[in-house]
Amino acid sequence: MRKVQNLKSIQFSNDFSTVSTQLIEWKKKKPVPALDKMIEAVTSWYFYTHELEVNQEMWEKSLSEYRADKLRAIERARRAELKLEKVEKELQKYKLAYG
């Protein structure tokens, strides 16, 4: 899934580059106020989309870390349970032997 997201992100960046390059060329040839508004809008659109991508990556990273923490906690609990069982068996042996 991450590979697909990366490919989409690259495609978006390429498309943005194409559009922004053309807008800048048009602005150099003939400055028009409407063109300036379009450049501002496209730039704003790019930053917003970039922020969404970064937020998604951070969310995925956080989720991965939470899952890893949970798995570590489960593993620690299992080890503790096994150790407790072992200690309880040892205790039973001492109780049988020494009353």
Segment 60-83, tens digit of pLDDT: 999 999 999 999 999 999 999 999
What pLDDT sits at residue 97?
Answer: 87
What pLDDT sits at residue 2?
Answer: 81
The answer to whether position 39 is within a domain reads: yes
Provide Rg for the chain, Cα atoms. 30
The answer to whether position 53 is within a domain reads: yes
The answer to whether position 47 is within a domain reads: yes
What is the domain count for the chain? 1
Q: Can you give the residue range of the structural domain that contains 65?
A: 2-74
Say which residues have a Cβ less than 8 Å from residue 16's Cβ, sequence separation at least 6.
42, 46
Which of 45, 64, 42 has its CA nearest to residue 53? 45
